[in-house]
Structure 1
Amino acid sequence: MTDVRSPEGRLILVGNGDPIHIGSHLAEAAAAAGYQMCFEDVRAAYDASVWRKRIDWWMRGRRPSRLQQFSAELVEACRSFRPECILSTGLAPIDADGLQAIGKLGIRRVSYLTDDPWNPTHRAGWFMNALPHYDAVFSPRRANLEDLRRLGCRRVRYLPFAYAPSLHYPDPPATCDEVKAFSSDVVFAGGADADRVPYVQALLQAGFTVALYGGYWERFRPTRPHTRGHADPMALRKAIGGAKVALCLVRRANRDGHAMRSFEVPAVGACMLVEDTDEHRAMFGEPGRAVVYFRAVNEMVQTMGRLRDDPAERERLGREAHRLIVGGHNTYQDRLLAMLEPTAVGMTAALGRS
């Protein structure tokens, strides 16, 4: 269990309030830690007609339709609520002018940069201009730390993803209907990036039953019959608990060394077949300690066959991965407190500089 330290005061949190998003996880963590919190949902920045949103996204550099208004509203919220810190998640719709104004109010500006802003899918000039105005930027990927420093971000730290104990816990299928609905050889939860499809296709061709959760798997003919749509937290727990093995792939376009599922899956409890990265090895240790790694498609398929036929080893691996993650201060409350620690932000020296 996470130790709850005495909070310093008020916090404005800017993120997506959907229960599956990190903004929601951090809001729950802040409430549990006793912070007085104001939550500003980023979806309000995109509130416009369909055509306006398309024009702003595709012709105006992936710009939220209400970027200026939303930024101004955040400044007013800071004036009225008077937080010690404003913490944003992901590619938060706060422009450079808004961040400068917030800094002049003596409020710490912290970004938990859960996406890679150099990913061509969502690279945006307005966001790149805003990033250097944060007092601290925390990134869950080591690959972009130097890029952030070269951009002008004054304090850059690595901070991994985490899990939410209220959502990510063991909850296997409990009835015959649930077992029928959620049983599989392999489960994968995540978007259908083109470079992920060959891994799934190889598993299907080898005869494994694969359950796919997440967006866009229906776009690819080999995976279309196996897609089960988006999973809410309960369905995700059941799907992970009902699978023999959970596949963990990183997102290459984001230059990930690990993913949100790298923490969520072991918290729920499963034998994991994990893409081999330095970050995964730092989390789970040497091969076979808590997870099994792979680097190539054929290695993944061969290893999956061995795991399918060895239930005792699957149980041991799942138990050890769960122990490592749940016992290792890896909740979103742990991450929140790390970001709000004044020494981590260097707040006094940075306030009001931009």
Structure 2
Amino acid sequence: MKKVLIVGQTLELGRTEELYGRGFSALGCEVQHFTWHEAAPSLVSGLLWDKVTWRLAWQLRAKTANQKLVEIGNQFQPDLTVVTSPDLLAPSSIQALQQHGLVFVFFTDNPLDAHHTHSNSWVKGGLILWDAALIWSRELVERLTENNVKKAVFHPFCSDVEYHFPKKQSNPAYDVAFIGNWDASRKREQYLKAIADYKLGLWGSNYWNTHCQEPALKNLCQGMCSYAEIPEILGSAKMGLNILRPQNEEGHNIRTFEIPATQTLMLSERSRELLNLFVEDKEAVYFSNPEELRNKVAYLLQKPEKIKFIAQAGYHQALKHKIADRITEIANLYQQLKSSPSSDVKVLHS
């Protein structure tokens, strides 16, 4: 595996496609990127008119971008193509790229739910074509297999230790820090409301000010933070809060690793997948409802040594899940499929 083509939305720092590009380069691969943002900016624009026309004629508008992708594939001739944003990728483009090498997809969102940004006719039509489909939930591995995916692989998110590392303050300004956008399910509102009378730091989009319906949270949000600012923000708090979006409740999210990688205690919504990744009350602390969250915060603030112990254990566990580990797993999967292309053995991350 010498040449790797990575297909994603944008090369913004911290995006999966950018992180995996760094990972494959560190492995010694020649990496080429293709981004929908560069090939067809209006397809990933946040402007209202672009969003409207995207829904009405997205396939027609994506056709030219797919042609550019196939041309790049023909020129670069990758041994492996890794796709992280498949919603604009035509099934015929998958087949064209397979003329050069294997084609993997990493579904960073659930491709089997009904949300238009996660799935569409092209995503559904491509399921049976991928040489391997990587996803962050063992439950979704089973469901993808039921949908005739040839090789469904449990592939967790990971720690980006180049940018996320301990930066603890001696006197943290906050009891709890939460980095995350407002969510239409309003679940995040309910959790944050439960601990709003503690020293709560909140970072995210302006929707927290314009859409949030909880008075206790009004004007609390300090705005968006950059990817590189995460260690400083989490270092300013005694605990880092992780509240899963509905689409991640069957697995985990990237915050699962960002928080412990900064040696901050992760206080997370409980899921079966998270419990498999970080041991409860030893490497992370979990909750399942707002009342339990509030009780856990009150208890931990009385136990500073316990906070320190769990944060340290979680940090060491996070270091077992670096981008280099994920790239090695992909490289091993590539070699396995190249050596036994007809194998029906399911590959699961242990």
The two structures have a TM-score, normalised by structure 2, of 0.87
1:209 pairs with one of 194, 199, 219: 199
C-alpha distance in 2, partners of 1:115/1:345?
26
Counterparts of 1:340 and 1:273, CA distance in 2: 33
Q: Give 1:88 deviation, angstroms.
A: 0.9
- In 1, the alpha carbon distance for the partners of 2:257 and 2:195 equals 23
Moved more, 148-157 or 19-28: 148-157
Report the count of equivalent residues.
330
Within the candidate set 134, 137, 144, 1:141 is matched to 137
Superposed, 1:1-354 pairs within 5 Å as 8-15=1-8, 16-48=10-42, 50=47, 53-60=50-57, 63=58, 66-103=61-98, 105-121=99-115, 122=117, 123-173=119-169, 183-193=173-183, 194-204=186-196, 207-215=197-205, 216-218=207-209, 219-222=211-214, 223-285=217-279, 287-326=280-319, 328=320, 330-342=321-333, 346-347=337-338
Query: Which amino acid in structure 1 is aligned with residue 180 of structure 2?
Result: G
SS at match of 1:154: coil
Alignment CA distance shift 1:64-1:308 (3 Å) = farther
Q: Report deviation, 1:164.
A: 1.0
Tell me the amino acid that sits aligned with residue 161 of structure 1. F
Cα pair distance change 1:141/1:57, threshold 3 Å: farther
Distance 1:53 1:30, change over 3 A: same
Contact 1:339 1:345 in 2 (8 A): no
8 Å contact from structure 1 (residues 20, 233) kept in 2: yes
Q: Secondary structure, in 3 states, of the residue corresponding to 2:105?
A: strand
Secondary structure (helix, strand or coil) at the match of 2:108 reads coil
Deviates more, 1:244-253 or 1:152-161: 244-253
Q: Give the C-alpha shift of residue 56 in structure 1.
A: 3.6
User: Gaps spanning 5+ residues in structure 1: where?
Assistant: 1-7
Q: CA deviation at 1:347?
A: 3.9
Deviation (angstroms), 1:191: 2.3
Separation (CA, whole Å) in 1 of partners of 2:336 and 2:67? 24
* Two-structure CA RMSD over aligned residues (Å): 2.3
What is the identity, as a one-letter code, of the residue corresponding to 1:200?
L
Q: Distance in 2 between matches of 1:58 and 1:302?
A: 44
TM-aligned CA deviation for residue 259 of structure 1:
1.1
In 2, Cα distance between equivalents of 1:210 and 1:10: 46
Check the 8 A contact 1:45/1:66 in 2, yes or no.
no
1:166 match: secondary structure? coil
Tell me the CA shift for residue 230 of structure 1: 1.5
Amino acid at match of 2:74: R
Distance in 2, matches of 1:221 and 1:296, equals 19
Q: Is the 8 A contact 2:270 2:288 kept in 1?
A: yes
Q: Say whether the 8 Å CA contact 2:201–2:220 is kept in structure 1.
A: yes
* Structure 2 portions without partners, runs of 5+: 343-350
TM-score if structure 1 supplies the norm length? 0.86
Instruction: State the alpha-carbon separation in 2 of the partners of residues 268 and 256 from structure 1.
Output: 25
Q: Distance in 1 between matches of 2:53 and 2:148?
A: 26
Q: Match of 2:299, SS? A: helix
